[in-house]
Amino acid sequence: MRAYERLMTYVKIHTASDDSSETVPSTQRQFDLARYLEKELKELGVQEVYVDENCYVYGRIPAAEGYETVPCIGFIAHLDTIPDFSGENVQPRLIEKYDGGDIVLGESGRTLSPENFPHLTRLVGDDLIVTDGTTVLGADDKAGVAEVVTMAERLLTEDIPHGPVAICFTPDEEIGHGAALLDLKRLGAVMAYTADGGEAGEIEYENFNAASASVRFRGFNVHPGSAKDTMINASLVAMEFNSMLPAGDTPRDTEEYEGFFHLMEMKGDVEKASLKYIIRDHDAATFEARKLCLLHIEKLLNARYGEGTVAVSMKEQYRNMREIIDQHYEVVQKAMDAMQKCGIEPKAVPIRGGTDGAQLSFRGLPCPNLPTGGFAFHGPYEHASVQQMDQCTDVLCEIVKEFCLQPQQLRDSDHTV
């Protein structure tokens, strides 16, 4: 079975996570896909298949004869889709041999157009999977799941040299919790890859340093007719706070390695208000400067309106995995070599976000991110290329072969979990 055929099935299983939930997984519906995969993996012959109480799906493919001493390599993808756009009742549609024009997405009134998505010109002639315009597709990351399962099927049915291969499908990646409870001992890999990227050929091993910030504003409400030099309008102070941030440091105005402050939510009235931000930067020093910027504005506004008017609280979310990957660069080089052998020109690109691999790298498992052939994630325009999904699956299989070439080098390395 080809990866896209699996994707067409997986996306119909509703698995959106919930960032307001305090349970793990954040939604029980993620178990629906986990149990489906558990059955599928067992039928394919994957060993040690196990779904734990937190909705992590594990499996293991034993080494082919003669490759038992090759280190175990892991492949990881996530089950959930984003919580803030519908992933329920997904209706995938296959468009054969895309002609380069506009694609009308069902009766939603939305159109997938090269004008808004210029990369579509590179997909002319490919078969595309699209939505009906009312939901996400779920290629993020069910395309990755489908490719890992298809890789497993090929390793078990084709004559492909391979050492032991570990598989894990995680819940709640979209809300930043996917790597938190992954059992590294059960996984048993010395290096791993997340299959959670975009265009074929891209490999990602550096991501944003990330934090969230909540800013609370306390006002002083009196009758507006007698408010001179007395009233403190919490909503206006919140607006003033935001205006003091660098105007061009927003997601709309930045790209590649440029960081930003992103205002996610604002609420307020005269007596109280709140702002929620995410803070992102690839450079660690600039990232720290961004956090200090918020605290400096807090200090200035409290001096102006009174202590306690503004209160900033921040929480670190994840760090740039490059500082770990650079110490184990062969995990990147193996992937690049595999891509070239598959006829794909590799391209290292920075992640303007984060992946499970960032957290896993800091937990001791070097884990760059691989492409899946999906595009325009997190919205109704999401789509995937059938041919690129095939290419990404080929790359996974080739990576496994690459690790069979020089097993002694890795056995003698200091990669331990």
Helix (H) or strand (E) holding 169: strand 165-170
- Give the tokens for residue 146: 């489908």
Range 170-178 average pLDDT: 91
Taken in order of first residue, the domains within the chain and their CATH numbers are: 3-206+321-411 (3.40.630.10), 209-317 (3.30.70.360)
User: Is 0.75 surpassed by the pTM of this model?
Assistant: yes
- What are the structure tokens assigned to 129, written together? 């999977």
| SS (HEC) of 307-346 | CCCEEEEEEEEECCCHHHHHHHCHHHHHHHHHHHHCCCCC
CB 383 within 8 A of CB 374: yes
Residues acting as catalytic residues:
80, 173
Question: If you average pLDDT over residues 187-198, what whole number do you get?
Answer: 97
Q: How far apart are CA 395 and CA 389, in angstroms?
A: 10
**pLDDT one-digit tens code per residue, 39-68:** 999 999 999 999 999 999 999 999 999 999
Task: Give per-residue pLDDT as tens, 314-357.
Answer: 998 889 999 999 999 999 999 999 999 999 999 999 988 778 89
pLDDT digits (tens, 9 = 90+) for 87-112: 999 999 999 999 999 999 999 999 99
Residue 261 burial (10 A CB sphere; 0-12, 13-18, 19+): buried
- What pLDDT is recorded for position 354? 77
Q: Tell me what the mean pLDDT of segment 1-11 comes to.
A: 98
Contact 135, 380 (CB under 8 A): yes
pLDDT at 124: 98
Q: Which two tokens stand for residue 235?
A: 């909503």
